[in-house]
Chains A and B, each alone.
Chain A
Amino acid sequence: GESVGLHLPTLSVQEGDNSIINCAYSNSASDYFIWYKQESGKGPQFIIDIRSNMDKRQGQRVTVLLNKTVKHLSLQIAATQPGDSAVYFCAESPTSGTYKYIFGTGTRLKVLA
């Protein structure tokens, strides 16, 4: 598999428990945020996004929370499953209308059976 996750922080969670993955973003002017999931040897997949005029958004088994005061983003995964094992990273869009995102380094999620 790919070596992209060699030096990443790791979160180990029991199957069925909830997972919380955190991300600190850098620019207070960022107005759009995305969480991606990357499995070994594959490209990142979009999970959920949120705009800066919201503080919470829910998807299927996932919730993203945005705290603009402390520039913090979190991804909550309910009832974590083995298929959730991957590297998760956030991305921020510093300015509306630009194509350029800033990506976090990621967190490796390991689901324990």
Chain B
Amino acid sequence: GIQVEQSPPDLILQEGANSTLRCNFSDSVNNLQWFHQNPWGQLINLFYIPSGTKQNGRLSATTVATERYSLLYISSSQTTDSGVYFCAVGDRSNDYKLSFGAGTTVTVRA
């Protein structure tokens, strides 16, 4: 299956700081999603972004499919941004099933 590597594994931010999370994947993909898992364990989809750039409020994501990576940007971070961010990828040869990375744990301090 497709291998997914996320970096950094841990990130500590001061409130108001900006950050970039990276997701590298080992093969071409047709399905790429970013998720946020809050400290209570709930998983929320942030973006469906197999290519291109999208923005949603203070979050944005860019996927460069030809170079097999995706970036998630957090601007003006808030304490509510704390949690684990997962990148997950899939491709049509595998029924688009998602393979998850190990995640980046983000802690935003007030």
Verify that A and B bind, or say they do not: no
Chain B residues within CB distance 8 Å of chain A:
none
Give the B-binding residues of A (Cβ under 8 A): none
